[in-house]
A and B are shown apart, each in its own frame.
Chain A
Amino acid sequence: MNTIEQQLWDYIDGNLDESSKKAIEEKITLNAEVKSQYEDLLKLNLVFDGLDLDEPSMSFTRNVMESVAMIPAPVAMKTKVDKKIIYGIGGFFVISLLALLGYVFYNVNLEMPKFDLNVNLDFNLGKYITPTAIYAFLFADLVIGLIFLDQFLRKKIAQK
């Protein structure tokens, strides 16, 4: 829908690029009918601009302030997220991982097995490569791919 009326409204609203603006200005100058339509729309625009806003009741502000008085005061998101909590959660995971690592090292048998030259090279790979394993592998690849894509897009947005 791009009638002459819409083009005139776009011109009045200032939504046209330079070339379209020049084209419509030319039409207004050369065509008496377009000129008259443009003048009518200008007048209509002035009427619409004179629109009045309605006034709420006198007690409106007081009623709002009474309602918000019962609500806890708002705080900025930055102050809501306490850094100590973040560090606490991070610390908990680090300690848990260290404890797990310590437990593993404590229980591990560090004795070297006797060296045997008869190494069995028949791994029977067919036993491990099942459809489920392939799907799991592809799914993990997809997740990793999405993570990288996300990081890449974030960097691109940040650069803008």
Chain B
Amino acid sequence: MEQKPTDLELIQKVLNGETDQYALLVKRHQRFVFTLALRFSKNREDAEEIAQDCFVKAYKALGTFKQTAKFSTWLYTITYTTAMTFLRKNRLDTTSIHDEGTVLQLENQTSSFNANGYERQDSHAFLNKAIAQLLPDDAVIITLFYKGEQSLEEIGAALHMEPNTIKVKLHRARQRLKEKLQYLLKDEVKELL
């Protein structure tokens, strides 16, 4: 069975002129970059624009990538800064989860699930709904930790924060996510957990 080339091997090929190999890198990381972008923008079209912009920026700067760190960590740093710039430009709504409006919105969503008989939606769907309602930073840290295979140090490097700060933020993000799940699932949360 043929072994898949590593990220570093693909980067070397691109730098040696085989630019079409970049498509493999994009395919490998697109889901993750898109998900991170979605955590910030909360909108698929914008997330796709941000993710596309990230890959173009990464391509332009590929020659400066120091191959001592993971390509994914470097890419997530680009994603974070691009998404933050996008947020500042578009002044998207990033209200706190403790804001009254957000809670109201949550309550409405919960009642609509019950009214429409959606109680039995699988745990993944609820989890994704809950995470979509977190603050962007919390959602990104949770995603990077559980799906990005990133250590606290690597997440810190990607988000320009100290590992200890990330640890505290991760703890708070988990608590908030648990609260969100409890809001969405009410009694079912016991079943889910």
- B-binding residues in A (CB < 8 A): 1, 5-6, 9-10, 15, 40, 43-44, 47-57, 60-61, 63-65, 67-69, 71, 73-77, 80
Contact = CB atoms under 8 A, between A and B. Distances in A.
Given A1-B168, A80-B63, A47 B193 contact: yes
Contact of B174 (A15, A44, A56, A61): A44
A15 B181 CA distance: 26
B127 A47 contact: yes
A5 B56 CA distance: 42
B59 A74 contact: yes
B52 A64 contact: yes
B168 A54 contact: no
Interface stretch (B2-10, B15-23, B68-76, B88-96): B15-23
A61 B56 contact: no
Given A47-B181, A48-B174, A64-B52, 5 more contacts: A47-B123, A60-B26, A64-B55, A73-B17, A74-B60
A147 B98 CA distance: 52
Nearest to B175: A5
A61 B23 contact: yes
A76 B63 CA distance: 4
Given A9-B174, A44-B178, A56 B193 contact: no
A61 B127 contact: no
Contacts of A52: 124, 127-128
A60 B52 contact: yes
A11 to B, nearest CB: 13
Contacts of A15: 152, 167
Contacts of A74: 14-15, 59-63
A139 to B, nearest CB: 34
Nearest to B168: A1
Which 7 pairs across A and B sit closest by C-beta, in order of nearness?
A74-B62, A56-B34, A53-B31, A74-B63, A68-B59, A64-B55, A53-B35
